[in-house]
Structure 1
């Protein structure tokens, strides 16, 4: 059966090391890095591109070091610059890539990799661009691809720049491991504040923080999830009245049994295929609030004659001059980078929320409701590149489809 119904859902909720978590973790995007023509002297040929298979969960500054060194060396060779200082810094900063890659000198010692969080003196100036759009280095790679990429146009071609850093669009430099780590840990803390009022992070030791970070840096599922599973613990309510409506307990069922009836079994037999009821009946753990963020892509989806989808720029597919500007056929220029609000795992009736409820809450949030021309039915919603069924339980999504920073990053693309 599918991952969002029936017994398969039960197994996923009960096993933190299930197949879906691993599939999400091991998601990869083929990328072709090219040196920006703007960073080349006039009339000079471009260097060969650099190809890599990039994990969706990681961040670009953690995986582009080899490409940066290759293009930096090429630029220096054209200008006749002395590369000794750069290469000395590169050798002094051990690196580990994703699994199967080695750092400088072929070393893979994670302790050595951890000793230096910076790369080279030029790293602060490096930035990435796709289709004239600077890519935010503090966003996960998978989120950036869902915002701007297309499965029909692979590998994803990205230009590397060394000059003219767009500080008005991107977070201020330096762009290095230390900056990514600081932003990543800050987002983890925010997610934990929503889930558990920050209790999990506050109880973690420095070695736990290090293992979490190194698990992401090395792309090692077990290393990361040994610590990250703590963030999937249920939130313990201190106020009983704040709990959602209770369900009959085993003792209640035994009390209702007529004399001679067999005792109630501890095993709950689920016959309904309805995901929220399944979530409720299995007594699954819940968070205080589920960390969701909604982003609007400047791209749109259009189906061709064969029925497959291709990506169009919003200005190409949706020309406001061809229709009513209030018809919901374009995105306002002053949209916030993302929309976020408090989303409880249960609705006002005490029932588990679904993905549909999550979207309804996000569209009703003050940050978005002021844009009256944005209508939910005009968009498709992607998480890790796939469309999540609107009947999927919100709590299940928060546990199984979150990024490494523990947020579920939803991308809306206009139909």
Structure 2
């Protein structure tokens, strides 16, 4: 079980400074001021956009001000059901040595909602999507045993911890989902690998090999990419560029997002 509280807390407290700008094609008259927010990596955009919508609503036409807003970064529409930290790492993060991407500048839209984006009609939709992904992760780790033994109030505690950005509230329950038998890892590692302009990759991958040896992040990348792995220079998880020798079980316990998946960006 993940027991390095300082590491878990530091990952949880990761924030991204974001500048939201109303798209210039939607100004009703003059250009409105931008709005700046420090946003949790663990959150989802629909949970934090109410303030943004209120800020810009008076600057768009009356017929559009109550529309569902959406975001783009340099022309790419952003999927609301991906964690914010994942979206930043995939599109804007050039690695820990780069200083050119400290502030993330996003365009806000009230009109022409993209057909390739899922609709998010309410915060209940986000909760449902989150819990569905959490259940999938536990199916891979424990065959669903832990999540299915939880009650509805336990599921709500996990979700409310994410929604309210409360570390203790979330992790006091999430620890159960990170439990393993003595000396054993998860049955499989819940992971998804993301690359620009490609569908994410998800396969079954056990944390130990047939000889009982611990598998590492490098083993996972070799498993997915084979000889092509040398073409990729940057691997990011939670904004961190971990050593390729890090055991994949440790990464799963400590660097997974709240949905219990390792979301890995490869560039």
TM-score (norm 2): 0.92
Task: Give yes or no for the alignment of 1:339 onto 2:205.
Answer: no
Q: After the TM superposition, which residues 372-411 of structure 1 pair with which residues of structure 2 at under 5 Å, given as runs?
A: 375-379=228-232, 380-411=234-265
Where does residue 64 of structure 1 map in the other structure? 49
Task: Give yes or no for the alignment of 1:221 onto 2:206.
Answer: no
2:54 counterpart SS class = helix
Structure 1: gaps (5+ residues): 1-12, 87-120, 237-282, 299-334, 365-373
Q: C-alpha deviations, 1:32-70, integer Å up to 9, x for none?
A: 0011112223xx222110100001010111011101111
Where does residue 153 of structure 2 map in the other structure? 207
Task: Give yes or no for the alignment of 1:137 onto 2:124.
Answer: no
Where does residue 360 of structure 1 map in the other structure? 222
| Closer, same or farther: CA 45–190 of 1 in aligned 2, 3 Å | same
* Residue of 31, 47, 71 corresponding to 1:128: 71
Task: Give yes or no for the alignment of 1:296 onto 2:195.
Answer: yes
Q: 2:162, 2:205 → 1: CA distance? A: 27
Where does residue 31 of structure 2 map in the other structure? 46
Task: Give yes or no for the alignment of 1:166 onto 2:20.
Answer: no
Q: 2:176, 2:236 → 1: CA distance? A: 26
Aligned-pair distance for 1:82? 9.4
Q: 1:82, 1:183 → 2: CA distance? A: 30
Q: 2:26, 2:183 → 1: CA distance? A: 54
Q: Kindly indicate whether the alpha-carbon contact (under 8 Å) linking 2:2 and 2:179 is maintained by their aligned counterparts in 1.
A: no
Q: 1:351, 1:19 → 2: CA distance? A: 27
Structure 2: gaps (5+ residues): 94-98
Where does residue 233 of structure 1 map in the other structure? 179
Q: Kindly indicate whether the alpha-carbon contact (under 8 Å) linking 1:214 and 1:224 is maintained by their aligned counterparts in 2.
A: yes
Q: 1:163, 1:144 → 2: CA distance? A: 22
Q: 2:125, 2:25 → 1: CA distance? A: 26
Q: 1:386, 1:363 → 2: CA distance? A: 20
Q: 2:149, 2:25 → 1: CA distance? A: 48
Where does residue 15 of structure 1 map in the other structure? 3
* Residue of 256, 272, 287 corresponding to 2:186: 287
- Bigger relative CO (Cα 8 Å, ≥ 6 apart): 2
Q: Kindly indicate whether the alpha-carbon contact (under 8 Å) linking 1:61 and 1:175 is maintained by their aligned counterparts in 2.
A: no
Where does residue 137 of structure 2 map in the other structure? 191
- How many residue pairs are counted as aligned between the two chains? 261
Q: 2:89, 2:183 → 1: CA distance? A: 30
Q: C-alpha deviations, 1:110-146, integer Å up to 9, x for none?
A: xxxxxxxxxxx63xx3111000000011000010000
Q: Kindly indicate whether the alpha-carbon contact (under 8 Å) linking 1:130 and 1:158 is maintained by their aligned counterparts in 2.
A: yes
Q: 1:191, 1:401 → 2: CA distance? A: 14
Q: 2:184, 2:59 → 1: CA distance? A: 54
TM-score (norm 1): 0.60
Q: 1:210, 1:47 → 2: CA distance? A: 38
1:352 counterpart SS class = coil
Where does residue 32 of structure 1 map in the other structure? 19
| Closer, same or farther: CA 82–61 of 1 in aligned 2, 3 Å | closer
Task: Give yes or no for the alignment of 1:412 onto 2:266.
Answer: yes
Q: 1:216, 1:143 → 2: CA distance? A: 15
